[in-house]
Amino acid sequence: MANLQAIADAVIKGDRNTVSAETEKALSSGVPAADVLNQGLVAGMEVVGKRFKANEIYVPEVLIAARAMKAGMALLEPALAKAGVKPVGTVVLGTVKGDLHDIGKNLVGMMLTGGGLKVVDAGTDVPPEKFVEMVKSSGAQVCAMSALLTTTMPQMGAVVQALKSAGVKVKTIIGGAPVTQSYADEIGADGYAADAASAVDVTRKLLGAA
């Protein structure tokens, strides 16, 4: 019997073995991957975020919870990313310079792959010049950036500017907890998405494939 609350609780405790076991159980009993993700893994990480903010837990506990969440996400990946679909475009995706948060970025990557896009993962702490270089070398039509810190958000503007200065013809999309549509407008990004699922819709729209 699938128990999504058990997945959330195990993420909160940082118990990756239980996260993996319960995620496998849920998937094999037919629970949709999106429910396992949202009601299990993401629900658990939301509690972790609140406790972190309230100084009830600290960075090591958050890291252990993040590792547990990643174990569950690795199991969900094949279900989220349906194989065999011809890519409708290529996206370079990275977390901007100074920022090491990659859980949301990885989720966006999985959903984009599932949405029929080829994703070139630039990793975390990616400086503007690396985004430019990777967009050029991959021939990507979209450059997607994630930022989780208010202090690293300005890097997104720096990437938009660097792409323009390099004369690279590419659409840009941004997202991450502190990012908003008005911020996207301010820095001249072509798109903004609040979550991984909308990132797929916005990217496909930017490519004219919606």
Interaction pattern, residues 12-51, with ligand B1M; x per rule: CB under 6 A:
------------------------------x--x--xx--
Rule CB under 6 A: choose which of 23, 113, 141, 146 binds ligand B1M: 146
Contact flag: residue 99 with ligand B1M (CB under 6 A): yes
Rule CB under 6 A: choose which of 12, 173, 184, 187 binds ligand B1M: 173
Contact flag: residue 199 with ligand B1M (CB under 6 A): yes
HSE, CB side, 13 Å, CA atoms: give it for residue 63: 4
For residue 14, CA distances in Å to 26, 133, 177 come to 18, 37, 22
Own/partner long-range contacts of 136-140 (Cβ < 8 Å, ≥24 apart): 136/166, 136/168, 138/90, 138/92, 139/90, 140/89, 140/90, 140/91, 140/92, 140/170
In which order are the strands placed within the sheet that holds 171-175?
Answer: 118-126, 90-96, 142-146, 171-175, 191-192
**Closer residue to ligand B1M in complex, CB, 19/199:** 199
Contact flag: residue 57 with ligand B1M (CB under 6 A): no
**Interface with ligand B1M (CB under 6 A):** 42, 45, 48-49, 52-53, 59, 62-63, 66, 98-105, 107-108, 144-146, 148-151, 173-178, 193, 195-196, 199
